[in-house]
Each structure stands twice: as structure tokens, then as C-alpha cells.
């Protein structure tokens, strides 16, 4: 599904949830995201900004972490992964569009990948919709509206150790930056 340029690719680990980890199941994380997205008291704590994303952090099931995020029109994350954490997110209001790569990518050992045709996926997540993802998930999330803000709840286990940022040029995916948790 992909080819490396430069460094060797490590073999991705199978499965979505490490069985011996004892962490919450993906369904629990998604359920938490949906419940929190429907809680007006929590959503009211989010500061709203017209020019940039805003967020508040929350404790999550099993010692994970959660974020309520405000998305002004046109806001986006850029291509990234979650440093080996698995998780879920749900849209509380507005619309978010997720673009993702439907192949398990390795998390280490490469700087440039050439993606095969047909691995790109896109989904619209309207208010009340959500999705779960595994530890090798690479995606970007965008508020495609030109006029309306969106709000979402994101939950991760284990807490995000880092995020890898990528640039994308057609089928070429490049690792551009690794952010440590203290950077956000």
C-alpha cells in the first residue's frame, strides 16, 4: 500500500487496542466523546475565538485525555497522527470533514512515503456523528464552512505522548515535525 524513500519501514503492530494494556476499548472512548459532545455545561466552558481554534482539556476514561475543541470557519489541523495513541472524536455542533489514509502506516523508521492509489478516505461528521480510530491513524480535520463555527470532543488513550505532523504533495507523505505534548 505504500513504499518508503530513505529509511526502512518498521512493521505496524496488528490490532487496534493493545490487549495487555488494560485501557478503555474504542467503543468506550467513542461513547465518552458522544456523551461529552451532548453536555451543554461542558461545552459552555469552551472559549470561542473567531480567528483560531480554541480548546479545553478534560480527564477521559481509564486515565486517557480528552479535548473539547472550537473550530472557526476554515480551521484545520493539517495532516498528523497521535503518536501511537488510539481514540475517538464526535462533533457537537457544526460540520467537520475528515480526510484520512486507509492503510496502517508505521509510526517510526521513515521520513517519506509514496502512497498507493485508492488509500484516501473522506467523511463528513455532522453534529451528533463521531468515529473511532486506531494507533496508526493519519488524518486531517477541517471545518469546511465559510460562516459557521464547529465544536467537537476528542479523546485519546493513552494520553498523547506526541504528534507527528506531515505534509502532503499528491501521493507523497512527508514527516515534517514531531511535537512533544508540552508544545500544545
Q: How far is CA 146 from CA 30, 49, 95, 128, 131, in A?
A: 28, 15, 11, 20, 24
| pLDDT at res. 104 | 78
Rg (CA), the chain: 16
Q: Domain range spanning residue 86?
A: 28-183
Is 56 a domain residue? yes
Is 150 a domain residue? yes
CATH of the domain at 39: 2.60.120.10
Q: Give the start-end residues of each E strand in 102-160.
A: 112-115, 120-126, 130-133, 139-142, 150-157
Is 18 a domain residue? no
Global confidence as pTM: 0.86
Is 6 a domain residue? no
| pLDDT at res. 28 | 97
Is 104 a domain residue? yes
On the CB side of 178, CA atoms within 13 Å amount to 9
Is 14 a domain residue? no
If one counts the domains in the chain, the total is 1
Q: Model confidence over 161-173: pLDDT tens digits?
A: 999 999 999 999 9
Q: Model confidence over 118-141: pLDDT tens digits?
A: 999 999 999 999 999 999 899 999
Q: Model confidence over 80-133: pLDDT tens digits?
A: 999 999 999 999 999 999 999 988 777 678 899 999 999 999 999 999 999 999
| pLDDT at res. 95 | 98
| Closest residue by Cα to residue 119 from 53, 41, 173 | 173
| pLDDT at res. 109 | 82
Amino acid at each position: 500500500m505504500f513504499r518508503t524513500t530513505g529509511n526502512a519501514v518498521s512493521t505496524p503492530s496488528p490490532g487496534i487496542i493493545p490487549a495487555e494494556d488494560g485501557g478503555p476499548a474504542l467503543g468506550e472512548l467513542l461513547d465518552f466523546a458522544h456523551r461529552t459532545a451532548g453536555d451543554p455545561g461542558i461545552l459552555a466552558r469552551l472559549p470561542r475565538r473567531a480567528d483560531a481554534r480554541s480548546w479545553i482539556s478534560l480527564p477521559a476514561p481509564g486515565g486517557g485525555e480528552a479535548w473539547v475543541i472550537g473550530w472557526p470557519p476554515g480551521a484545520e489541523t493539517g495532516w498528523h497522527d497521535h503518536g501511537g495513541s488510539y481514540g475517538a472524536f464526535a462533533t457537537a455542533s457544526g460540520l467537520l470533514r475528515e480526510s484520512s489514509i486507509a492503510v496502517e502506516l508505521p509510526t517510526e523508521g521513515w521520513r517519506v512515503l509514496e502512497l498507493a492509489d485508492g488509500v484516501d478516505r473522506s467523511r463528513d461528521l455532522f453534529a451528533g456523528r463521531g468515529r473511532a480510530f486506531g494507533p496508526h491513524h493519519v488524518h486531517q480535520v477541517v471545518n469546511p464552512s465559510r460562516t459557521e463555527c464547529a465544536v467537537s470532543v476528542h479523546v485519546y488513550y493513552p494520553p498523547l505522548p506526541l504528534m507527528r505532523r506531515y505534509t502532503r504533495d499528491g501521493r507523497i507523505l512527508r514527516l515534517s515535525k514531531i511535537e512533544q505534548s508540552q508544545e500544545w
